[in-house]
Amino acid sequence: MEFKQIYTPGLAHLSYVIGGRNVCLVVDPAREVDQYIEIAASFKLPIAGIIETHLHADFVSGHIELAQKTKAPIYITKKANADFEHYGLEDGEEIIIDTLKIKMIDTPGHTPDCSVFIVSDLERGSEAALAFTGDTLLVGDAGRPDLFPDIKEQLASNLFDSLRKIEKTGDHVEVYPAHGAGSLCGKALSSKLLSTIGTERMYNSAFTISSKEEFLLNFLQDMPEAPDHFSRCSEINRKGPAITANLNKPLALSPHEFYKHAQSGMPVVDTRDQLAFASAHIPGAYGLSIKGNFATFSGWVLPPDKPLLIVADNDKDLAEAVKMLYRVGLDNIFGYLKGGMSEYAQSGLITSRMESISVEELKERMVKDELILVDTRLKSEYDTEHIKGSMHAPAPDVRKRYREWIGDKTVAFICNTGNRSLLAASLMLNLSGMKNIINVIGGTTAWVKAGYPIIKGGE
């Protein structure tokens, strides 16, 4: 049996190519599908099937594009109610493709349409060998059940029951999930990217919590913030994403053309580093450094109904930004700034700026009570440790909470390195009309390295 696990950085997404004797299958493909065709070619096997464990919420899948390129059928549970051409599987249904026997079991909980695909290698025997568990069972965790708020209690109950079905598969069965640590599809994902049913039964709280009441309490509290694009991506995947080759290519725009379109209401996505953005950027731009978790935060805060404009330092960063915007369903990219900000600066057009300070200056100004400090990390990070006197608001929440901080006092934003706080500061700058907005460079990482006091969780 041929096997390859593919990791997508930024999304912590895991996809797979599994081969039998004569053909191979792709499981949960990312939107960049040529990589799977290349892997299949290295196996010297054609792709004969595409498996989707569920309608993914955090990214747009490549199932439609890969099916178009390979003519392979897509397999997904009937409960997904998919609009695209597919083979809909019933709970417990088995299919045999080449030397692989595949059994799908419905495992609702993370989403209503989650499923697990259990695979046997018939060249070795009929016993289950591995399971593609999607986002139902993750290494060290299970998929969060709160993405559908109106039915989250029912989904949490379903998740408990679904895990009981999975644990009967056999302790020897290898577990291959759709996400690893860094994904917002759970709250305690391990950095390990594979496991076994037996290991998870011993150490994963999703299994070790035996009471459904306790399970519901545990899995419905302290979940990481759910990005705005999760429901949008899920629906895009249900309907069938556009083929990326058919999308309009971003136009190269002169500084005056770019500025005109920005003034007309097209959002500007500035992908440069925090220091470059702070010194000069196009008024109204989103500070979304390509060095940060660009795809997730772009999907989270950028309006999906408007054509986008991109500022990048170079062609490589531009191509990377386009790819990652496509990953989260932001397909309408109108154009990019030809020549970058250096060309724009020479045009004489108006720019905005933002103050940046070190943690040393932050400490001095906090002692003097000169500013409001907002920690823009996730709640779990803030609860683990934070600076005394800071308040918490994840970067995207500035869109809703910025009015709380409008006043005479300077507002400073901090995260662990300065990338999320850059986004938060740019949002505050654009929404509030205030000028005294600060991004703390180096973030809490620099604060701790400098030996400054920090409040640990539980203190």
Residue whose C-alpha is closest to residue 104's, from 74, 70, 68: 74
The DSSP result for 437-457, as a single string, is: EEEETTHHHHHHHTT---EET
How far is it, in rounded angstroms, from Cα 234 to Cα 337?
31
Distance CA 412, CA 124 (A): 61
Q: Kindly report, residue by residue over 233-290, the tens digit of the pLDDT.
A: 999 999 999 999 999 999 999 999 999 999 999 999 999 999 999 999 999 999 999 9
> How far is 337 from 347, CA to CA, in rounded Å?
12
Taking each helix axis from N to C end, the angle separating 229-239 and 294-301, rounded to the nearest 10 degrees, works out to: 90
Residue-wise pLDDT tens digits, 134-177: 999 999 999 999 888 889 999 999 999 999 999 999 999 999 99
Which two structure tokens, joined as six digits, stand for 408?
């005479």
pTM value is 0.93
Give residue 49's pLDDT: 97
Determine the 3-state secondary structure of 218 from DSSP: helix
Q: Are 284 and 262 in contact (CB under 8 A)?
A: yes
List of the chain residues with pLDDT < 50: none
List C-alpha distances in Å: 21 to 27, 71, 75, 288, 319.
17, 19, 20, 46, 37
CA distances in angstroms from 220 to 110, 217, 408, listed in the order given:
11, 5, 39
| pLDDT for res 457 | 77
Q: What is the pLDDT of residue 182?
A: 83
Tokens standing for residue 317:
């960063």
Angle ∠(233,235,238) on CA atoms, nearest 5: 110
b (16+ CB within 10 A) / e for 222-260: ebbebbebbebbbebbbebbbebeeeeebeebebeebbe
Domains of the chain and CATH, by start: 2-238 (3.60.15.10), 247-347 (3.40.250.10), 355-456 (3.40.250.10)
